[in-house]
Amino acid sequence: MEAIMLAGGFGTRLRPLTYTRAKSLLPILNKPMIVHLIETLPDEVNKVILAVNYRNDQIEKYFKEHDCGKEIIVNDESKPLGTGGAVKFAEKHISERFLVLNSDVICSLNLSDMIKFHIKNQSMSTISLWPVENVSEFGVADVKENGNIVDFVEKPKAEDAPSEFINAGAYCLEPDILDYIDTGRLISMEKEIFPQIIKDTGRFYGFKFEGYWMDIGRITSYIEAHKFLMQKKKIDICKGDNCEIYGILKESCIGNNVYIGKGSKLNSTIVYDNVVINDNVNLTGCVVGENCKIGSFSDLKNSVLGDNEIAEEETILDNKVIWSQPIPKGYPDKQIGNVIEE
């Protein structure tokens, strides 16, 4: 069985971290986000097709150097194709029923159970469903008691919502669905293809699951995902190799070759590899990119330093993004073809 993982986005809401790396390679607990997803795949999935565009060379390099126990195919799109276009572009690698997964979602979905549900209902398309309180911010599924979805209502008022369930970004699909998708253009599976499947076949189902679901789309959710997974693992810090820590860390994750000086305090902060944090530095709710240096007596809150940035001594930052280098050519100002909208 194959799984297509949508990993072509620029991750504009996570800049400047994504100025220098593919979004799907952003580390979560010092392991690329996409690897967390691969590890959730059932044994029957033996081939993973990565739909990539931006920074595809980084993704190819990573999977050449790391064995994830599955055959990995990097399917490079010459231009962003959206969810539907990416699926169609992977058609030559599809031989049977297949999964489509959004690479920036961390959740408790049991994919084996979802596949069984799909087969039991003889579904053409089954999507994961997650309950939310703020239905007015999402497309909401009109789902019957048996799981059959008959419609989607876009951003309804709370009193008009047909349910509390939204598309959670994981799909189990029959190969016939490929016939519905045009070749070579940006297509939204959610807006163009799914409504047609509902209309033509009625064999469109939603699989509800419980536990947790996090769309890693913003710096705040990126930090919260770290904190949640550390709590789940019952650890207060996560650290890489060759680190020298003389300060205090709480609910924080640091990479390899990190130095933290005396009197420094890190709270709810993520630090990448090869970073120097000098004495008496306070970091709260921050992300510090690779090869950064932070001078003594600095105080940073809810701020992000891109790779290779330097914060001089006594730097004070609150809710700031630091990037002093050129923005990569072709990097967009806004999102392109997202799977899950907020």
**Catalytic residue list:** 155
What six digits make up the tokens of 85? 């276009």
Quick one: how far is CA 243 from the chain centroid? Answer: 27
263, 280 in Cβ contact below 8 A?
yes
Quick one: how far is CA 134 from the chain centroid? Answer: 21
Return the residue matching tokens 């679901």. 213
From the number of C-beta atoms within 10 Å of its C-beta (0-12, 13-18, 19+), residue 231 rates as exposed
Q: Report the alpha-carbon distance of residue 184 to residue 336 in Å, rounded.
A: 16
Greatest CA span in the chain, whole angstroms? Answer: 66
321, 300 in Cβ contact below 8 A?
no
Helices and strands, number each (H, E), in the chain: 6, 29
